Every structure is written in structure tokens, then in C-alpha cells.
Structure 1
């Protein structure tokens, strides 16, 4: 990659849009919903200037199906939305997973269920990491915690989408999307513009000259045993992603208690951990960066080293299930919920951390 010298001060939403353009995203299909509106607003002009196309779709359903069509043609494309809008996109995402169509999808999580509010929450973790539509599927899921990560991981999302022929989800929330931080933009220097050209539906022109075989992209498998074979193939792909799991370790080496939190809550929890460290208390933080694949191996190693765990989430308990699954043969995790509709501060996280540290 080639670093650009300037630093710019941008919102998380804008950082994602800029990261997509750096990754040579050529099509954006969107529909307005708070708190992700800055992404389509920025893209509506910037992607046109970059030689791409922007479509203000008539609905979230339409935007997701446009994304399916673009990905099937081998085009680097993206859509973005927020919680209720993501629910409407799930059928198309299931089709993309089933037919192995690459795409990048952004969800700036807001409070729910239902319309909820326009504030931050992490209640879409299950939907994001389990495959929120019908059938058995997963998609690669990033949970950025800083504006710089939002930029960086968007670029990586496009690479993973085309390398593994899969939808890739970027899960943020209203905090990440709306806060501003300085970032260093960069442009990858190894993008393969021909990626996907050996399978994409691009039109079989000059068949007699090229001899190209007909191509078919589908998620419907009706022949005897055909669907089972496709599901085995997909599951093998998902299993292979385990080696790509990532997380941030902060003061975990000598920690007696490890706090597990992701995204915006991860950075708030990190501030609380810093406060305890200044007091000489051995508290650390493990912040998953990939939510699927989940960094289970890192957690298990910490559990085997005798650590105790506290999971903190801006929901009623979702990621804690993955934490407990990772350490189930060795340890358990306490849990502290932040109810959607509330915005926590580092000070408010100190009481549950202290109680857990003292074994209460």
C-alpha cells in the first residue's frame, strides 16, 4: 500500500465511504435511514467523480437486490443501511451467500427492536454474525472501533469479498458513524480489477472466437444431493476463515480480569481499563475486530492462563454467547448489559468491572 501524507478529520460514516472509493468501489446502492445517511450523501457525488455509479433506490429491498446484480457481474459494489433497513435486506443477502456473490454491506446499528431510536446499540450482533436471513450461511463480519479502522476495514472488506466470493458486513453503530477523528487515508496498490472475471456474468460475446463456456450464478439447487453439496462447500469455506480471526489485546498478559467488548463499547471499556491500570488493578481488554470469524482461540488461551472474564455489550446479551462458547471447557464469563436507549460513559463501566474483579 502507498501512504498518503495528509491527515483528514472525518466522521466514521465518511471514512467508510472514502475507504470504499479507495478500494475502487464502482457502484453504490442506498436508501436513507439514520444514522448512516452520511454514507449515501457522500457517495452521491464522490463516486460519480470517481467514475462510478450511484443509485438512490426506491427501498432497502431494491438496493440489496441491485447489489446482488452488480456483484454477480463482478462489479465492486456496496450498500449501507441501519437496523430496520438491514432487516429488509436479509433475503437478498441470503441469496448472495447461497450463490457466492461478493458484496460489501454496512450496518450502522441503532436501537431496537422495531423502529427503536436513532441512537447507538449493538442489538444486531446475532443478525450480523449468524446470517440474518433464511438458511444456513455466514458472512465475514468486521466490528471497527475507531474511524481509522472503519476506513481500513472497508478496504479489506472488498478484498475479502472477492477473494472468498462472499458478502462482507461492516457492523458499526451511531457512535462510530457520527463521531469525528483524524485518519490517514491510503490506497491499496494491489487491487486485481480482473478478479471475478472467470466466474462473473459479463456477457458471452464473440462466443465463436473466445470459446467461453456459459456461466450460471444461482442459489437454487434442485437435483438430488446438489443442495447438500453446496452447503458442505459453503461450510468448509466458513470454517477456513477461523485463521483470519482478529482482535485487539490491551493489557491482557498479566490481567486477572479480561473485559470483552467490541466496537464503540470496546473503546469506552478501554478507557475504564486504563483507569484501573492507573490504580494498579490488573484489568485487561480483549476487543474482537472480526466478529465472524470470532477470535475464539485467543480467548481460550487467556482462559487456560487462568484469567476471569466480563463481557460488556450495548444489548441484552449476544456476543457473550460467543465468549462463553470459546472458553466453555475452561472458564465462564460474567455479563453486564447496557440497555439500548442509554449511552454509557467509562465511569459507568467501572462499577461492574470492579465488582467482577473483587468476585462479587
Structure 2
């Protein structure tokens, strides 16, 4: 099959031919219809994560191999099934949950595949959606999206799920308690939309781009802060009328994490999501005196994705902007470059050849 892959650490995306998988057992082969482009893919392309003073985390040292076919926000049509598949048939259109666990550990046994220490994620450890076809290891990772536009539905597998899970780590809170969302790109905008859909009434969006903040306000942000000086905590506190109950950092570099921490009130929560890199240094006494909670959040569980899709199908989740482009090597490269340079107000979703717009 034709695919678009990174052939080595730091290499760019090129056209490649790889064997078309043949499903067996519980596996399902889907023809890719839509494939969203995530900022995580920019890190996969460069081959490492920035760990601040601890250097970098090389993905090859964690088992990532080349050629790597990225793409983990996938909507596809079932074309072939394994002999133990009972709930799907060719022609079914499905959203793919890509955060595949080992299937044997305690976390996987409790339905928390994204917690698995030996994960085999699609688009990272297995070939993903920048290709003609994608092989899903079990039909349990497929979610029906009847009634949803497939381009937007594709974003729910990562952008939507990441935001949904992070938001639920700070809720419940009284609706008028400010929640700060740092970063109004695709994931941050989805978090704002999700907070609004869940009835939260005080949402502060922080971003470098006034254009992104205008979109954030349309989706439900009640207060916005232009981070012209590195998202200073005093600007956040002033905008929110005092220290805040919770902050979700979808950028998560040294400057934004520090600003988020410093803006928290007593018993405040900081959820760190972004992978931009850096480090956070905090006063240990303040951690105790202010009873601060800091936690990381990585995507979400299969059950959370199903709950998010249900929310979307009920019409309760506002749409983030979706930028349509063809699924080609040039489009993948251009999309990754745009994300690496910042300023994408929404989510870029690539459309496979022969798949009409809006279908």
C-alpha cells in the first residue's frame, strides 16, 4: 500500500510503499478516509522530546522504528476483518482509538490502555493513518460516528480525547470557579468547547495569538489573555479576579508551566498536557502550604473516547475549526511545518483521495 513515512530521525516525510496488512483474529483493516495532524507528530518527526535540563528523550531508544507511518486521528471504512471479528462488517465507517496497550498488564485489564507502560500506539509503534490502509489490532478499538462529519470526528481520537480527559481531571468545580486553558490551538480549543458543553461558566483562555483567542471566545471562553510576555501569572490572576482553582497547560514549556503554577489558589490544580518541552521548578514549601496538585495527562481511555463521541452525537460539543487538505506527502509536510511554527487555529485534517469533502 502507499503511505507517507519518516524514514529516519530528523528526516522529512516521503512517499513509501509498505505491505498491505492482512487481518487475522480480532484485527480489522480499514481504508483511511480522514487523518488528523497532531503536534505530537512534529516531535515524532524530529525523533525526540525536550526534557529541559535532563537533555532529550530519543524515541528510537524507546523502541520506535523506521520507516514510521504517523497519523493517529483516523476515520476509516472497514474493508477486511479477521476470523474472530463479530461486531463489524466491510463498509462500516469507524473512528479509531489509537492508544493501544499491551493487552496483558493490569492497566489494560482495567480498560486504561493509555496507562500501559508497553503501549503499541498506532502512528507511533505501529503504522498509522498517513497511508491508504490502517490495521487495528482489535475491533474493540473502533467507535461508531453515525451523524458526525468525518473530518471533525477524526479529531476526537486525540485532540478531543486529550482535552476531554484533561478537563475531567479538574472537574467537578463550581461553574463560576475560573479554569485556565493555556494554549488555544486545536486541543486547547477543544478543551474550551468541552468545558462549555459540560456547563462550566468561567473559562480563561491564554495564547500568543489574538486570532486564536477570538476563536476561543466564540467556543465559550469568558476571559482571554494575550501571552505577550510569556503568559505571566499576574495577567492571568488579574483577568480571573484572583488566583484560580485550576489550570490546564496544553503548551507546557517552562514559561507556561511556571505561570500556571504561580496563578493557582490554595488547593489549586495544575494539569500538564503539552509536550513542547522544558522543565518546571517549584518551591517545595509552597507545594505543602498551598496544597497544590500537579499531574500529567496523556490522551484518555477507550471509555472516555466513547463518552466524548456520545457527547458529540448529542450535539452538545461545539465544533473546533477544521482545515481540510488532501492526504499527500506534501500536505503532511506542510501541516507539520505549520504546527511546528505555531498559529494553527484549529485542526488540520487530511482527506484521502476519492473521499469527498464533508462525507
- TM above 0.5, one fold? no
Higher strand share: 2
TM-score in terms of structure 2 length: 0.30
Larger radius of gyration: 1
